[in-house]
Structure 1
Amino acid sequence: MNCPLQGERKGSVNRIMRELNGISVVVPFLNEEDGIRKFCNTIDKYAEKFDFFLELIFVDDGSTDSSVEILKQCAFQNIKQVKLVKFSKNFGSHAAIRAGLQYASYEISTWLGSDLQEPLELLELSYEKIREGYNAVYIEKKSIKVSKANRIFSRIYSWMMRKYAVESYSSGGISTIVFDAKVRKYLNENMEANSSIMLQAMDAGFKSTVLSMDFHERSAGVSKWTLSKKMKLFIDSFVAFSFAPIRLVSIVGVFIFCIGVVIGISTIVNKLINPNVPVGYSTLASITALGFGITNISLGIIAEYLWRTYDAARKRPVFIVSDVVTIKECESDTQ
């Protein structure tokens, strides 16, 4: 395979590469020193069978271990080009994916985790689907070896996304998306903070299809997908793509008002029928506590929307890139 970039000016590199058949793969990682070498070796070996080019764009999301040093030592024989984008601090996996897409060279793009849970076969299958005319291919989790708690969270999240946010969201959960230049351009031009890049792509309505695949168990290391990050994604997804929480506030308010009216009427009727019956202070205290609780929850939901509006109005960057390193340049070779 001869590199067609040889002898071309730097300003035309991206244009030429996009004319080729290939996929740019963004790989966000955080403290993956136990598994980053295995990932590099595995995908490099697997790429030997591809009849298209493959570019890897690693995004260091603020790692504090030796992940970057190990990555720079890896030898890539079958990957056409390898880049490393380094963040100034931890901004999250979705921000890392968005950053990587900014540096993608090929027409087709996607992202993979560095834990090798996604089957690499998805690259070939999705490539064919994109060539058939689809703008995006959603990779659905047919099966995966994770804890029971993770499965429950995934099912609840998927159900609520389909019900209240994006109707096309898969019941099995979407892990990654393979998409063409149209989708990437849309995502790059509409950079959203505190949002889900998957839901943003799915909500845009591009022509798409779904591939259901068996996922693998994490190859090495410990998952950085903590409970707090899951909760943030859950809240971000609803606030960014659904008005259901705000409508819930109104419904609960009307419901509590009706309860108050019923209790008030029953208290008056009971007092008229039995004048000697004392007013129940415990009932009053319960209603007051319930009312204050509902009010605080409602204010919290509204505050989530207000905070994100304020955060968007400040126009602070979704991520800050401290350095970009080319680990392997495209060079003339023969395969």
Structure 2
Amino acid sequence: MQTKKQLLSITTNTYYAEKFILSSLVRIRKVAEKIRHEFNIDVEIIVIDDGSKDQTVNILNSEFSKNQDFKLITLTRNFGAINSHRAGISACNGDAVVFLASDMQDPPEIIPTLVREWIDHGHKFIYCPRQTRNDPLISKIFAQAYYFIFRKISQIKDFPQNGFDICLMDRQVVDAFLACKEKNYTPQQLIWWLGFRSLGIPITREKRCEGKSGWTLQKKLTLAIDTIISMSHLPIRFISLFGIFVAFLSIGFGLYILYHALFGSVAVAGWASIMCIISFLLGVMMMMLGIIGEYLRRVLDEVRERPSYVVDNVRLPVETKFVGGIGGC
């Protein structure tokens, strides 16, 4: 009886990638061919466009018509890199899945090394922590601050200090990841939280050669807030502890005022100090309401049960089935 070949899925997402998507596909195809030859396994390539408004989709459709050697999934609008990654992973048929960004700052040439560790040593999760980053200075500063704070306050304090993007997941890891239905998260932290045996293979994050990153400051701040709230109890615990502290402080100050008001030994402080205290506490209360509001907004996202993404169109190679569905949780 002939044994069925193992299948590796390589998925990448695109957004305003008209300047480099063809060169990225060339690199991914070369890597896929090397893996087929070296390991005697099948490879499928999945490309997800996350609502690009430039010529990215037209270029991909034209390339698909010429070759038909990859799955092409287009989403109805921009749902964000995290959700487009999930769309790609959901559409994978592979026994293992690799996901990477189409800008190729994380070199796809590392993938055969990941596959070897998966096949030869049975690692279920192989990731590529960044040793160095060839990014602009402001991006480096933000990334270092983000990962430093995350490691200090999150539930997964052993997370790589410079983070990672490209990784290989065994099908068991993929199924566990897809079973997590939360809306506001980052894939890397969620995969790490699952706790599977892992192996790190360090890489250098390459300089972006073409195009402009879609990761604006607003998106980076949103990612940071989502990560902290989803992976740490510290914000809500801070509110509780600070509330207890202020309550005891208020009781002590109230007893002090009552004592001197009854016995008249010292004049009670005037309006200036009282207004300063009231203004300070009102500011703290508004900040706490904002933190609670962030949690409530995420609870609302969960209970509405809207899909994380909606598929507009799917183009498949011949005799290939689509398993992702038209929307995802």
What TM-score, normalized by structure 1, do the two folds share?
0.84
2:190 matched to 1:205? no
1:100 deviates by 0.7
Residue ranges of structure 1 left out of the alignment (5+ in a row): 5-15
The counterpart of 1:113, out of the listed 101, 107, 111, is 101
1:104 maps to: 92
Match of 2:79 in 1: 91
Gaps of 5+ in 2: 321-329
Residue 189 (structure 1) aligns with: 179
Q: Report matched runs for 1:283-322 at 5 Å.
A: 283-322=273-312
Residue 107 of structure 1: CA displacement?
0.8
What whole-Å deviation, never above 9, does each CA across 1:169-208 have from its counterpart, x for those lacking one? Answer: 1111122321010011112232321111222111111111
For residues 46-75 of structure 1, give each alpha carbon's deviation from its aligned partner in whole angstroms, at most 9, with x where no partner exists.
444332433221111111110011123337
Secondary structure of residue in 2 paired with 1:32: coil
Instruction: Give the conservation status (yes or no) of the 8 Å contact 1:102–1:188.
Output: yes
Return the letter of the residue paired with 2:148.
Answer: W
CA RMSD, 1 decimal: 2.7
Q: CA deviation at 1:303?
A: 1.8
Q: What's the CA shift for 1:295?
A: 0.9
- With 292-301 and 304-313 compared, the bigger mean Cα shift is at 304-313
Q: Does 1:61 align with 2:50?
A: yes
* Partners of 1:80 and 1:330 within 8 A in 2: no
Measure how far apart 1:156 and its partner are. Answer: 2.1
Q: Is the 8 A contact 1:191 1:318 kept in 2?
A: no
- Looking at structure 2, the residues matched to 96 and 118 of structure 1 have their Cα atoms a distance apart, in angstroms, of 18
Q: 2-side partners of 1:160 and 1:54: how far apart? A: 38
Q: 2:323 aligns to what?
A: none
**Which of residues 235, 239, 250 is equivalent to 2:240?**
250
Aligned equivalents of 2:152, 2:68: Cα separation in 1: 42
Question: Distance between the aligned counterparts of 2:101 and 2:204, measured in 1?
Answer: 15
Paired with 1:223 and 1:65, the residues of 2 have a C-alpha distance of 14
Q: Which of 79-88 and 280-289 deviates more?
A: 79-88
Instruction: State how 1:158-197 maps to structure 2 within 5 Å.
Output: 158-165=147-154, 166-197=156-187
What displacement does 1:234 show?
1.2
Q: 2:16 matched to 1:31?
A: yes
Query: In structure 2, what is the Cα distance between the partners aligned to 1:329 and 1:113?
Result: 26
The 8 Å contact of residues 110 and 176 in structure 1, kept in 2 or not, is answered as yes
Secondary structure of 1:54's partner?
strand
Q: Deviations over 1:97-148 (max 9, x none)?
A: 1111121122110211111100223211111222211111122111111122
Contact 1:176 1:198 in 2 (8 A): no
The answer as to 2:272 corresponding to 1:282 is yes
Contact 2:260 2:268 in 1 (8 A): no
Deviating more after overlay: 110-119 vs 146-155: 146-155
Distance 1:273 1:151, change over 3 A: farther
Residue in 1 aligned with 2:110? Answer: 122
Equivalent residue letter for 2:213 = S
- Pair 215,266 (structure 1): closer, same or farther in 2 beyond 3 Å: same
**2:67 maps to 1:74:** no
Aligned residue type for 2:293? A
Report the TM-score, using the length of structure 2 for normalisation: 0.85
Question: 1:217 pairs with 207, 213, 219, which one?
Answer: 207
Alignment of 1:43 with 2:33, yes or no, is: no
Among all aligned residue pairs of Structure 1 and Structure 2, give the percentage whose two residues are the same amino acid.
Answer: 27
Q: Is the 8 A contact 2:48 2:72 kept in 1?
A: yes
Equivalent-residue separation in structure 1 for 2:109 and 2:279 (angstroms)? 55
